[in-house]
Amino acid sequence: MRKCTSRGNPFLATAALITALLAASCLPTPPGESGDITITLYGFSIMKESLEKAIFPGFTAKWKQDHGQTVQFQSSFAGSETVTNQILRGAPAEIAILSIERDVQRLQKDGFVTADWHSLPGNGIVNKTPFVIIVRQGNPKGIHDFSDLAKPGIRLIHPDPISSGGAQWSILAIYGSELMKSATKPEDADKPKALQTLRAIWKNVISTPGSAREARTTFELGNGDALITYELEALLMKEAKAPIEVVVPQSTIFSEHPAVVIDKNISAAKRPVIDAFMQYLWSDEAQQAFVKFHFYSSTNDAFNQANKDFGHIEMPFTIEYFHGWDKAYPEVIEGIFRDQVQRK
């Protein structure tokens, strides 16, 4: 039985590999300077840029100036429902910015949010954005409103309502816009027609990614003819010179995004800086920054004039049209969408 005469070589290679692995065995330290204070913020998917590029640095500078301490932010972003679930499971979030109020209610229910978040400025809403339709450059399929999405042969990307808050806004946008077009008060509106439109549109959905941001990426990679999403996403894409067009529907909903403190995860020592940050979110500086990133300010309409890219919406409405999330969720999301559209 011959033995491999070059016994040395494979041994050396393996030894080298193992040494290299050993060198990698130490847990790495996080990059960037380690600050004196760390704030952990979990946000829904589209909040990432505005927070990381403008809000965090802005607050860090301010706090340093006022108190001389360095604040560092840790953040994690995913679909709004996913973020909420993570927090419920114990993710160490100290602040959460979510897409839908219902998610805040879920956190309140389990005792994660104890303070009255409505007492925060702007009723707890940090910014808002209307829902629009994104189509390919040149609008080859001739889409001008939600109802056009019901045309046969249209391939629609729509986030998954189970994990994405934006998906739920989108459904409300579609349904609500149809109702709005028929009457101003929901009680008088043509419900069956709206339901039919919603059904027809949903038949054209070819993919339901987990968050609004994921849906955008899928669309960018060339899937689908149209995407319903937050206007700010559309504007960010245009900024990046993506070959798209934004279709502003005649009537659409403004999504309103709550920011809350996760009281359960805050230590008393951290309270001051957390509260300061929350206040900062509604400061003029922050609100103007949001506008730059294509969000509508929730405090001052005047700021919104600064952004020339905002589309003009003829008949805007908010969740109030449905009498708040407490009614909208069971009636529309569950009653109409889940029971009559999805299940049929």
Interface ranges with another protein (CB under 8 A): 1, 3-4, 7, 10-11, 13-14, 17-18, 21-22, 24-28, 30-32, 40, 45, 48, 74-78, 86, 89-92, 211, 213-214, 216-217, 220-221
Shortest approach of another protein to residue 331 CB, angstroms?
31
Q: Which is nearer to another protein, 89 or 344 (CB)?
A: 89
Shortest approach of another protein to residue 49 CB, angstroms?
8
Q: What single string gives the DSSP state of each residue in 37-79?
A: EEEEEEEEGGGHHHIIIIIHHHHHHHHHHHH---EEEEEEEE-
Q: Among positive and negative, which fits the CA dihedral 247, 338, 224, 197?
A: negative
State the burial class of residue 288 (Cβ atoms within 10 Å of its Cβ: 0-12, 13-18, 19+).
middle
| Alpha-carbon 256 to chain mean position | 11
Q: Which is nearer to another protein, 181 or 216 (CB)?
A: 216
Residue 229's DSSP bridge partners are 132
- Report the alpha-carbon distance of residue 317 to residue 337 in Å, rounded: 19
Residues in the chain: 344
- Report the alpha-carbon distance of residue 302 to residue 79 in Å, rounded: 30
Q: Which is nearer to another protein, 216 or 294 (CB)?
A: 216
Q: Are 186 and 321 in contact (CB under 8 A)?
A: yes
300 Cβ contact list (under 8 Å, min separation 6) = 284, 287
Q: What single string gives the DSSP state of each residue in 233-294?
A: HHHHHHHTT-SEEEE--SEEEEEEEEEEE-GGG--TTTHHHHHHHHHHHTSHHHHHHHHHTT
Shortest approach of another protein to residue 329 CB, angstroms?
24
